[in-house]
Structure 1
Amino acid sequence: MSRIIYLDNAATTKTAPEVVQAMLPYFTENYGNPSSIYSLGTESKKAISQVRETIAGTLGAANNEIYFTAGGSEADNWALKAVAEAYASKGKHIITSKIEHHAVLHTCEYLEKNGCEITYVNVDENGIVKLDELEKAIRPDTILISIMYANNEIGTIQPIKEIGEIARKHNVLFHTDAVQAYGQLPINVDECSIDMLSASGHKLNGPKGIGFLYIRKGIKIRSFIHGGQQERGRRAGTENVPGIVGLGAAVERAFSMMEEKTVKERELQDYLIGRIEAEIPYCRLNGDREKRLPNNVNFSFRFVEGESLLIMLDMKGICASSGSACTSGSLDPSHVLLAIGLPHEIAHGSLRMSLNEENTKEELDFTVEAIKEIVTKLRDMSPLYEDFVKKK
């Protein structure tokens, strides 16, 4: 198979052709600054307002609760840092989980160095937050709970509605990193008692460098970037109009085809999981078997080093990953896999494949055959595997 087989959609997605087409006029024709009062500028301002309305509609939110950012990491940083600053008089305690994206975890580390106290709650073997532990962790000085909607590595979907109810019951703000979930799952911020939500365009066939933060009206959040009055004075800087328009087109596309796309991805997901489990011994499916994103497949292969597996798959034209793209330079095993209880040596042998509706069973068949061949080759070179076979 000569073409690339792309199985890393959790890292980024291909920008859809209709998204590119929607963006092009805002580079060359409707290029006015949205803050300008002449018609060329007001055209850009109208386009931004329309996208804000589109996004708000998908969440059951109000238009003025949507704030555009440069992506999911900025939205996560803004939510945590701004709450820590604005609610410091109430307390400095924040609760999150051990399997969050590093945009949240590293922000929490920063806040700890600046006087905040962070509680990192545990998850079960499938990566689901332990609700009893979460509720017990709440204190009088707790100001925020930040739990991701769905995990970027193992695909596990969290009980967001129940977490929101706990937060509301104790009068604590609730933020969710929905970067992997938005556009894949239906989300209603009122039904789930969500106060803030982060999302990113390039995870749903939109452009890179654009995202948004939903902030419920009445939440005390200060400016993240100081300067002009853009984004109602909370995030200064000339708006990325082409990016915002592209995000809007991607959102319309994702929500119009969500049901059909989910059915296709579930079928591919079940097929891929079934073949791997049936044909490759000593492997483990990571994440909840049912409560997982429809496009996520994550396996650990015993006696295999994940980086070698990825390199050899790449040589066959297959793009996959061992976990978050944001930690691809690290030699440490995935913090997510360690948090669900895997020992280091098994966590090191992980492979994440994230699908899209354009993938085919033919591609998955080629991929499974490649994994079988590579795993066999790597195990044949492993003294640990040799010892294991002798003992068996």
Structure 2
Amino acid sequence: MIFLDHASTTPMSQTALAVYHETASRFYGNTASLHEGGYGASQIYEASKKAVAGALGADPSEVYFTGGGTEANDRAIRSLTAPYKGKDKHVITTKIEHPSVLSSVELLKENGFSVTFLDVDKDGRVPLSVVIEAIQEDTVLASIQHGNSEIGTIQDIKEISHICHAKGVLFHTDAVQTFGKVPIDVKELNVDALSVSAHKLYGPKGVGAVYIKEGVNWQELDYFTSPSHERGFRPGTANTPGIAAFAKAVLDCDPVKAEDELHRLREFFIKCLKARVPNAVIEGHNTSVCPHIAGFRLPGIEGQYIMLTLDRYGICVSTGSACQVAKQEASHVLSSIGKSEQESREFVRLSVGLSTSKEDLIRAVEVISTITKRTEEDSDAKKMARGRTQKQNSHHA
């Protein structure tokens, strides 16, 4: 199998897997327990928090572990807005956010918040002028993604956060797709909150984290029993093995090196694709883009057909984010950058990983080229058949 869907998930590294097994086998105590078993688990937990915080440029006290990226986004957004519940406040996000963010802000709307969904340009970038115009006197939070999970476009988070803070607006960013693949420093980005996930960088599924800047006001969510873990941020016993494996994956990661390697692979794929399929359309920003994501369209060919055909050849790609594909809907990201429904359904996302080889990409391009030629031949055959039918009808008339 050639796995080219690393934006949806990554294989768990052997070192992270070993740490998971070791922790689950030896340090299985509850981190909240006061006995020796609990103490051992809590030491692993605290060391893991320090590792993740270090990779973000944060203090360990500013990191809260979650059950994944979706929960990280949801809890960040709703915990930051909870102090303003029932006060008719305003929230800003974009039309191309991950479904987890869009779902969270829709829930805010149901609870009395007004929400502005920002437009983006044809490359998926949020114009700074649009952010400025959207901020109102009652705006309390803006949540704008770092890197898009479908077309890969990266936003100017540092500048956007500066605009928000100048108006007294809190700023959260979803960095699930970028953490581990590009250097991230929360102090440099100047964000109030940031979400990440373990399984996007060779860690286990079901583990994520939220950074919340020290001093930022947030409130426990009241839809569940009062959380006693993560300093009130979420309920449930800490997943110590998963958290330890997450930390190991983070410690093994070199974002600078990863960005360079993934970028070269992405550029190699695009070069090969354009050489074999000249009419292929690459979506997203040319330069400000996630180094591992290559979103493209083959005009006139359904993305799902391309994906399923590649799958028959043992090559895994997707037609968008896993959460979006599960609903079998046309990409909301593609429609937001001005594509028609048909063009949106043509979209294919190929995403590389550190284990991807150039041979893998060459093979994928070969199959894509075959699909294109076959489609063109079928189209020509249908045109010829229609032509013959028209001639026969004309003759009989």
TM-score range, shorter chain: over 0.9
Instruction: Return the offset for 1:382.
Output: 4.9
Which residue of structure 1 aligns with residue 232 of structure 2? 233
Instruction: Identify which of 154, 170, 178 aligns with 1:181.
Output: 178
SS at match of 2:311: helix
Are the aligned partners of 2:124 and 2:284 in contact in 1 as well (CA < 8 Å)?
yes
Query: Is 1:373 aligned to residue 374 of structure 2?
Result: no
1:250-297 superposed Cα distances (whole Å, 9 cap, x missing partner): 11111xx32332222222111110111122132210011111111111
Query: Is 1:156 aligned to residue 142 of structure 2?
Result: no
Instruction: Identify which of 30, 33, 36 aligns with 1:33.
Output: 30
AA aligned opposite 1:223: E
Query: Is 1:124 aligned to residue 140 of structure 2?
Result: no
1:131-166 superposed Cα distances (whole Å, 9 cap, x missing partner): 101111100100100000100111111000001100
Instruction: Report the Cα distance in structure 2 between the residues aligned to 1:142 and 1:64, rounded to whole angstroms.
Output: 27
Instruction: Report the Cα distance in structure 1 between the residues aligned to 2:300 and 2:355, rounded to whole angstroms.
Output: 32
AA aligned opposite 2:46: S
Are the aligned partners of 1:153 and 1:352 in contact in 2 as well (CA < 8 Å)?
yes
Instruction: Return the offset for 1:193.
Output: 1.6
Query: Is 1:147 aligned to residue 144 of structure 2?
Result: yes
Which residue of structure 2 aligns with residue 275 of structure 1? 272
AA aligned opposite 2:71: E
Instruction: Report the Cα distance in structure 2 between the residues aligned to 1:209 and 1:302, rounded to whole angstroms.
Output: 37
Instruction: Report the Cα distance in structure 1 between the residues aligned to 2:212 and 2:260, rounded to whole angstroms.
Output: 31
Are the aligned partners of 2:81 and 2:218 in contact in 1 as well (CA < 8 Å)?
no
Are the aligned partners of 1:168 and 1:193 in contact in 2 as well (CA < 8 Å)?
no
Which residue of structure 2 aligns with residue 304 of structure 1? 301
Which residue of structure 2 aligns with residue 168 of structure 1? 165
Which residue of structure 2 aligns with residue 286 of structure 1? 283
1:162-204 superposed Cα distances (whole Å, 9 cap, x missing partner): 0110011001000000000111111111222200101100000
**Relative to 1, partners in 2 of residues 1:253 and 1:91: Cα closer, same or farther, differing over 3 Å?**
farther
Which residue of structure 1 aligns with residue 243 of structure 2? 244
Instruction: Identify which of 302, 316, 321 aligns with 2:318.
Output: 321
Identity %: 37
Unaligned runs of 5+ in 2: 388-397
- After the TM superposition, which of the residue ranges 266-275 and 170-179 deviates more from structure 2? 266-275
Are the aligned partners of 1:265 and 1:356 in contact in 2 as well (CA < 8 Å)?
yes
1:66-87 superposed Cα distances (whole Å, 9 cap, x missing partner): 0000011111111222223212
Which residue of structure 1 aligns with residue 101 of structure 2? 104
Are the aligned partners of 1:108 and 1:118 in contact in 2 as well (CA < 8 Å)?
yes
Instruction: Identify which of 177, 200, 213 aligns with 1:203.
Output: 200
- After the TM superposition, which of the residue ranges 5-14 and 51-60 deviates more from structure 2? 51-60
Moved over 6 A (4+): none
Which residue of structure 1 aligns with residue 357 of structure 2? 360
Instruction: Return the offset for 1:377.
Output: 2.0
Instruction: Report the Cα distance in structure 1 between the residues aligned to 2:62 and 2:251, rounded to whole angstroms.
Output: 18
Are the aligned partners of 1:272 and 1:364 in contact in 2 as well (CA < 8 Å)?
yes
Instruction: Report the Cα distance in structure 1 between the residues aligned to 2:71 and 2:20, rounded to whole angstroms.
Output: 22
Instruction: Return the offset for 1:379.
Output: 4.0
Instruction: Return the offset for 1:332.
Output: 2.6
Instruction: Report the Cα distance in structure 1 between the residues aligned to 2:21 and 2:312, rounded to whole angstroms.
Output: 35
User: TM (normalized to structure 2)?
Assistant: 0.92
AA aligned opposite 2:233: R
Are the aligned partners of 2:280 and 2:297 in contact in 1 as well (CA < 8 Å)?
yes
Instruction: Return the offset for 1:380.
Output: 3.9
Q: Alpha carbon RMSD of aligned pairs, Å? A: 1.9
Instruction: Report the Cα distance in structure 2 between the residues aligned to 1:40 and 1:332, rounded to whole angstroms.
Output: 48
Aligned residues: 383
Unaligned runs of 5+ in 1: none
1:226-261 superposed Cα distances (whole Å, 9 cap, x missing partner): 34532112222110000100110011111xx32332
Are the aligned partners of 1:300 and 1:351 in contact in 2 as well (CA < 8 Å)?
yes
**Relative to 1, partners in 2 of residues 1:238 and 1:330: Cα closer, same or farther, differing over 3 Å?**
closer
Which residue of structure 2 aligns with residue 57 of structure 1? 54
AA aligned opposite 2:91: I
Instruction: Report the Cα distance in structure 2 between the residues aligned to 1:329 and 1:181, rounded to whole angstroms.
Output: 22
AA aligned opposite 1:335: H
SS at match of 2:71: helix
**Relative to 1, partners in 2 of residues 1:85 and 1:238: Cα closer, same or farther, differing over 3 Å?**
same
SS at match of 1:199: strand
AA aligned opposite 1:253: D
Are the aligned partners of 1:92 and 1:142 in contact in 2 as well (CA < 8 Å)?
yes
AA aligned opposite 1:17: Q
Which residue of structure 2 aligns with residue 340 of structure 1? 337
Query: Is 1:42 aligned to residue 10 of structure 2?
Result: no
Are the aligned partners of 1:227 and 1:237 in contact in 2 as well (CA < 8 Å)?
no
1:302-353 superposed Cα distances (whole Å, 9 cap, x missing partner): 0101111111100000000010011223333111111111122122111101
AA aligned opposite 1:372: S
Are the aligned partners of 1:19 and 1:249 in contact in 2 as well (CA < 8 Å)?
yes
- After the TM superposition, which of the residue ranges 26-35 and 62-71 deviates more from structure 2? 26-35
Query: Is 1:92 aligned to residue 89 of structure 2?
Result: yes
Are the aligned partners of 1:8 and 1:355 in contact in 2 as well (CA < 8 Å)?
yes
User: TM (normalized to structure 1)?
Assistant: 0.94
Instruction: Report the Cα distance in structure 2 between the residues aligned to 1:228 and 1:118, rounded to whole angstroms.
Output: 27
Instruction: Identify which of 317, 331, 334 aligns with 2:328.
Output: 331
AA aligned opposite 2:132: E
Are the aligned partners of 2:19 and 2:248 in contact in 1 as well (CA < 8 Å)?
yes
AA aligned opposite 1:234: F
Are the aligned partners of 1:322 and 1:351 in contact in 2 as well (CA < 8 Å)?
yes
SS at match of 1:202: coil
Which residue of structure 1 aligns with residue 395 of structure 2? none
